[in-house]
Each structure stands twice: as structure tokens, then as C-alpha cells.
């Protein structure tokens, strides 16, 4: 039986890139103003969700596994008022996805089983668990972006 790790790492890395492509498909037609617009008084804007995903990947995969030295400011991901351009937000997100995919592709079978510990993510106890859970987290927020993109396009 062939080793499972190359299939797992390739599939996971490809999935992160699919998430990136889906986010671009939603955001590319929108203006910078639209990505920062909140269609309801509650919830987040698309821009803040992209900042959050960028921070999430840079924290859990970048700092936690790739040892990039990234220091996260999670509250700012949801409150940042700088309103970066759509292009800059996407470029930062793309770099986080690229880093995550590259890190995943470097993992051996043994690497996937390395213990992982972060008090803010207690269920992610191995590298594989981090990659898997962050992929699910990313697509959860892309699902929110699908709805938000429809709403801000109507306005």
C-alpha cells in the first residue's frame, strides 16, 4: 500500500488553494468599499473575515508549525478601521494561503503526527489536526462571504 502522507498533504494543500480561489471569485467583482461594508449592524464585513482568515493561518500554521514568528492580534482582525485596499487584503490573504500550502506540502507522515499545543485551539493536538481544522474554519468563513457578497452587491 502506498504511503498515505503524500496524498493527504497534496489534497489538503490543494484544498487551501481552492479556498483562496473561491474567496477571489467572490471578492474580485466587489469594490474596496463593498468589502468593508457590513450589510447588517451585527456580524462582519468580507474585509474583516479576510483579515481574520489571514491572521488565523499565520498564527496556527505560520507561527505554530512553520515557526514564522508571526504575532497575532486577533481582536484587530475584527475591528481594524484602516480599510486597506481590496488588492492589499487579498495579497495578504494569498501570502497566508501560499505559506499554509507550502508548509503542508513539506510534511512527512511523521510530521503530520507531531504534537501541537495552543490553548486557544485545544482540539488541534497534532499538525494534521491543525491543517484539517483550519481548512474547515477557512471554508466556514468563505460560506459567510458568499452571503455577504450577495448582500453588498444589492446595495
Please state the φ and ψ torsions of residue 126, each to the nearest 5 degrees. -140, 165
Q: Could you please report the per-residue DSSP string of 62-90?
A: IIIII-------HHHHHH--S---HHHHH
Distances (CA, A) of 31 to 20, 41, 125, 149: 18, 20, 39, 11
Instruction: Supply the CATH classification number for the domain 5-154.
Output: 1.20.120.450
Residue carrying the nine cell digits 474596496: 32
pTM recorded for the entire structure: 0.96
Please report which residue ranges of 80-126 form alpha helices under DSSP H. Answer: 86-105, 109-112
Phi-psi group of 121: left, alpha or beta (phi > 0 → left; psi -120 to 50 → alpha; rest → beta): beta
Residue with cell 474583516: 48
Any idea which residue has 490573504 for its cell? 93
CA-based torsion, 119, 132, 79, 72: positive or negative:
positive
**Which of 143, 153, 155 lies closest to 29 in space, CA to CA?**
153
One digit per residue, the tens of pLDDT, for the chain of length 155 reads 458 999 999 999 999 999 999 999 999 999 999 999 999 988 999 999 999 999 999 999 999 999 999 999 999 999 999 999 999 999 999 999 999 999 999 999 999 999 999 999 999 999 999 999 999 999 999 999 999 999 999 86
Amino acid at each position: 500500500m502506498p504511503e498515505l502522507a503524500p496524498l493527504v498533504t497534496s489534497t489538503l494543500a490543494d484544498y487551501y488553494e481552492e479556498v483562496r480561489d473561491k474567496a477571489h471569485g467572490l471578492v474580485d467583482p466587489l469594490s474596496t468599499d463593498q468589502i468593508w461594508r457590513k450589510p447588517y449592524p451585527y456580524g462582519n464585513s468580507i474585509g474583516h473575515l479576510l483579515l481574520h482568515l489571514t491572521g488565523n493561518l499565520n498564527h496556527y500554521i505560520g507561527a505554530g508549525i512553520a515557526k514564522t514568528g508571526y504575532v497575532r492580534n486577533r481582536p484587530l482582525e475584527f475591528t481594524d478601521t484602516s480599510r486597506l485596499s481590496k488588492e492589499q487584503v487579498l495579497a495578504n490573504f494569498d501570502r497566508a494561503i501560499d505559506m499554509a500550502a507550502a508548509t503542508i506540502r513539506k510534511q512527512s507522515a511523521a510530521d503530520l503526527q507531531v504534537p501541537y499545543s495552543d490553548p486557544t485551539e485545544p482540539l488541534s493536538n497534532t499538525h494534521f489536526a491543525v491543517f484539517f481544522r483550519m481548512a474547515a474554519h477557512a471554508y466556514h468563513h468563505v460560506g459567510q462571504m458568499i452571503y455577504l457578497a450577495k448582500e453588498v452587491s444589492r446595495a
